[in-house]
Amino acid sequence: MGILNVTPDSFYAGSRLSIDPDAIVSRARGMIEAGAALLDIGAVSTRPGASPVSADEELSRLVPALTALRRALPDVIISVDTFRAAVARRVVCDFGVQIINDVSAGALDPDLFAAVADLRVPYVLTHSGGFASSAMPDNSFSSADAVSHPDSAAVPRLSRQVEPISVQVARFFAERLQQLYALGVSDVILDPGFGFGKSLEQNYALFHGLSDLIKLFPDNPFLIGVSRKSMIYRLLGTTPEEALNGTTVLHTLALQAGAHILRVHDVPEAVEAVRICSAVQS
């Protein structure tokens, strides 16, 4: 899954695109030619400190990008990274977007789960650990969501220390999957949410248990998004720009653990990791 950020402030500067249709199509075409199976378009940065973005502004970024992509690459599979039901409805109905990727797991818009059920598209369910960005509407998850996100600040400190992060994520997935299935959402992709609402130690503890977590949900594909994230460059004392090698290491480990989709900035390197791991595993 190649990342297309039509934002001015995503954490990795190399992924930022202006709302220039030619530049967007050129980047997308390069990713597809390099081996990307699908593209994920985001118009709201979720990095801490990002500027707030309204629904109108989000759509003003998405619409030109999707218009250009559908004209130039009509058959490409597109996922849109949004937490808003209205945006989800617009991009699916008007542009045939095939997947909705929601970092908030329905916590920021109570209508999103129902919208995905109505639209009958696959949905990416992310464990965000109570994470909130200033770009989100109220810069916070609700108190009810804090209970559903066991490692958030609203949960007693003792329980966070005692219960492993992998157990927290597994319970969260089980609870949210029940809600989605009850609404009729049948195609749910699971994202453990590396980098969202988790300490550096929790990120690596979760990665250590990734294989067991994947085995608990055999009917759900797992999406792994670690590309150039802080869990890499903070550990190594580098920067996002220097985190490609570390990204490839984690991609390899994720594939060995059974991951199904890699969400990446650097498609050629990820494709090489997939090909080599596939050869080893076969």
Active site amino acids: 229, 263
Residue entry with tokens 């559903």: 148
* Alpha-carbon span 220 to 214, nearest angstrom: 8
Q: Please answer whether residues 211 and 198 qualify as being in contact, where contact means their C-beta atoms are separated by less than 8 angstroms.
A: no
Cβ-based burial of 93 (10 A; exposed 0-12, middle 13-18, buried ≥19): exposed
* DSSP letter for each residue of 62-87: HHHHHHHHHHH-TT-EEEEE---HHH
Q: Would you call 237 helix, strand, or coil by DSSP?
A: coil
Element (H, E) at 156: none
* DSSP letter for each residue of 97-111: --EEEETTTTSS-TT
Kindly report the length of the chain: 282
